[in-house]
Amino acid sequence: MRVKIALFVITLLSASQLHAAQKNIPYGPGERQRLDVYKPDNGKPAPVVLWIHGGAWKFGDKSHLNGKAEWLTGEGWALVAMNYRFVPQVTWREQAADVAEAVKWIQTSGAKHGFDASRIVLMGHSAGAHLAALVATDEQYLEAAQAKAATIVGVVLIDGAGYDIPRQAKFARGWLGGIYTEVFSTDVAEQQAASPVTYATSRKLWPQFLILHCASRVASTNQAKLLANALQSAGAKAVTFSARDKNHMTINRELGTPEDEPTAAINELLWKLRPTSTGRGSTGKAE
């Protein structure tokens, strides 16, 4: 255990020297339509994780990675961390459009940045999980951006609770309930339009879904099961993972650390989705 921790610390110290990443690349005209790029140092085209931060649809930043760049590049994946515009300056629809535009940027900029843009995984926490799920299920956003849905091979959702928003808005209490009505209004039709479960209908091509939730958090547990069941009924491969001894913040903050069970579950999916030509465990390098 001590050896693993020591190696992890050394990796972080080495990778921290490589944080001269290519940052604040525009994918749209807005001030927050920017992204950062990190990629592994293995000389091969790297499949891509698009990271979508959380923050109640109103705050957060792509720079809050907590070691994700080191972890994911070490697993042979490029990391593209995106910002998106906030409510109330824009609506949730425009936020989903931002995610789709970032996907399009990856697809059109793949060769320049050393990406294997045919393999993209959407990964988001909290509000970012909702946006990732929405773009992966409601294809109108990718179509409007002229992005290819087939390149999204996986979706990793981390402790989101906004997959069936009418249900969540009905049962959420206090300030949390206020967030859902502020972002999605009190209109049930509007809430349904923002709900990924609404679009979990039969289609030929689905990415693989890994839906993580905190075992102790009732809202995210119930919402994860609702979405997984809907996706499975629609013919998608969707798996839930119940994270023990985690809360809404630590499940995100501790990703990439040794002995972390959510990390192991994500790594297992990434290993399955990786092209056979991509080496695993290479040293992470920010571009």
- Rounded to 10 degrees, the C-alpha dihedral 214/282/117/103 comes to 40
pLDDT, one tens digit per residue, over 81-118 is 999 999 999 999 999 999 999 999 999 998 899 999 99
List Cα–Cα distances, 228 to 137, 163, 210, 222, 239, in angstroms.
12, 10, 9, 10, 7
Query: Taking 80 as the threshold, does the pLDDT of residue 214 lie above it?
Result: yes
Q: Alpha-carbon distance 28 to 162, whole Å?
A: 26
> From the CA atom positions of the chain, what is the Rg in Å?
18
Residue 280 has pLDDT above 90, yes or no: no
Cα–Cα distance between 8 and 13 in angstroms, integer? 9
Please tell me which residue, 177 or 166, carries the higher pLDDT value: 166
CB atoms within 10 A of CB 56: 17
Q: How confident is the model at residue 257 (pLDDT cuts 50, 70, 90)?
A: very high
Report domain extents, the chain: 2-286
- Tens of pLDDT along 28-39? 999 999 999 999
Residue 279 has pLDDT above 70, yes or no: no
pLDDT at 282: 34
Structure tokens at 275: 């092209």
Q: How large is the average pLDDT for residues 250-272?
A: 97
Task: Assign domain 2-286 one CATH number from 3.40.50.1820, 3.40.50.2300, 3.40.50.11310, 1.20.200.10.
Answer: 3.40.50.1820
Q: What pTM did the predictor assign?
A: 0.90
| pLDDT for res 21 | 79
Tokens 């140092």 locate to 41
